[in-house]
Structure 1
Amino acid sequence: MISRPLCLAALLALPLLAHAELQALEDSDLSRMSGQGGVYLSGEFSINKNGGVLWNTPASNDPATWTVNQRSCAAAGASTPESCGLRLAIRAEQNGGWYVLDNLKGIFSFEGLTLTTRTINSGFGGDGAGFNQDVLDFGLPNEMRFKNGSYTFAVANEGGWRNKAGTIANGGSPSYQQTIVFSAKIDGTLRMQGSVLIFPKN
């Protein structure tokens, strides 16, 4: 049980705490301080593990029967349709085709991702001494874990996905072409070493 005098003392101290404020340090005080900063991160995130929000899963794997907002990402010849994951498309040239990461989904977790600053003043074939600036140093995670991860790498003539078997009236595009380079499914743990340096540019 907390005594009555102790409660009274705590209540009397509240106004003092309420008037506390942060004060700026003088340059002379800052010059005497030193420290080292950085961020160490661990976490887990999921990407469309139950399918994306752009397309509904159709009742069949026959593209000719799909409506404008339906798509299946099941393998060719599969008996049941499958929901689709995230799609990322990058166009390297103004009039060129698209590089596509398609059907990206799964659960990804990591441990030991670090973010620090680092001074580059040596190495790099002698260029480091001339550079002599700070860079961002992303330390790769010690461990990456994947659960039901999947993605497809492809090239396409459009950034967005189109139903080649559909008509223009229902959102399809008979001229749409996408060529799958490879597909991958990932389950397990990956150990990583090293770091990625980001150099500033004026």
Structure 2
Amino acid sequence: MIYKVLCACSLAFTSPLYAEMQALDDAALSQLNGQGGVFLSGELSINRDGGVLWNTPVSNNPRTWAANERSCAAAGAAVSDCGLRLAVRAEASGGWYVLDNIKGVFSFEGLTLRTRTVNSGFGGDGAIFNQDVLEFGLPNEIVFDDANFTFGVANQGGWRNNALSTARGGDPSYQQTNIFSVTIDGTTRIQGNVLVFPTN
């Protein structure tokens, strides 16, 4: 339900202000036009100082770790804390795509969220579709402060310590292959939007 606010006040501002909420009837409502949406700015700090779910081991030899220890450093390198892990499984019987060790500070300004009617374009499919979709407008700038992540594939969604026995909380069958790692420190300019189409 949409309301309108009525305000009565004098030019000298000596009288008290009064406001009353009134419901709009269908005739008045039909005369109104509006546009909805959300404009977001913010900052995400993800495991910048290490996470709380895993203890940092003393050495970087996985065979010496306890069940609650994990390092994201390469073997033989200095021990480091791990970041956030996101895993997606595309097929019920398939493997997992993972973004692992997500850490750092990500800030943005101007991310928008609104609904949009798609009734044209898309090679003629828009007119057939003729429905509302969610539109995420990408922010003009994203600032990264010592941010990093690793993309890989794994046979399980959750991380497991494959160097420990099952009795010690590990999983020797766990496998993950890291495809590439990224470290970003600076500003990235982006344009465009992402449309999310509903499915039946």
Q: How far is the alpha carbon of 1:26 from its aligned partner?
A: 1.0
Give the Cα separation in 2 of the matches to 1:153 and 1:201.
28
Matches within 5 A, 1:68-87: 68-78=67-77, 80-87=78-85
Tell whether 2:27 aligns with 1:45: no
Q: Which moved more, 1:148-157 or 1:22-31?
A: 22-31
TM-score norm. by structure 1 comes to: 0.83
Identify the residue that residue 92 of structure 2 maps to in structure 1: 94
The RMSD of aligned alpha carbons is 2.1
Amino acid in structure 1 at the alignment position of 2:62: P
Find the structure with the greater CA-based Rg: 1
Q: Which structure 1 residue ranges, 5 or more long, are not aligned? A: 1-9
Identify the residue that residue 7 of structure 1 maps to in structure 2: none
Q: How far is the alpha carbon of 1:92 from its aligned partner?
A: 2.3
Give the Cα separation in 2 of the matches to 1:89 and 1:148.
22
Q: How far is the alpha carbon of 1:130 from its aligned partner?
A: 2.7
Q: How far is the alpha carbon of 1:76 from its aligned partner?
A: 2.6
The share of aligned pairs that are identical, in percent, is: 69
Q: Which structure 2 residue ranges, 5 or more long, are not aligned? A: 1-13
Amino acid in structure 2 at the alignment position of 1:27: D
Give the Cα separation in 2 of the matches to 1:129 and 1:162.
48
TM-score norm. by structure 2 comes to: 0.84
Give the Cα separation in 2 of the matches to 1:29 and 1:189.
47
Map Cα deviations across residues 42-83 of structure 1 (whole Å, 9 max, x no partner).
1111111122222111111111221110111122321x3111
Q: Kindly indicate which of the two structures has a greater share of residues assigned to helix.
A: 1
Residues 199 and 92 (structure 1 numbering): CA distance in 2 closer, same or farther, change over 3 Å?
A: closer
Amino acid in structure 1 at the alignment position of 2:109: E
Identify the residue that residue 63 of structure 1 maps to in structure 2: 62
Q: Kindly indicate which of the two structures has a greater share of residues assigned to strand.
A: 2
Q: Which moved more, 1:39-48 or 1:100-109?
A: 39-48
Map Cα deviations across residues 107-159 of structure 1 (whole Å, 9 max, x no partner).
00111211222222222112222333332221111011111111111111222
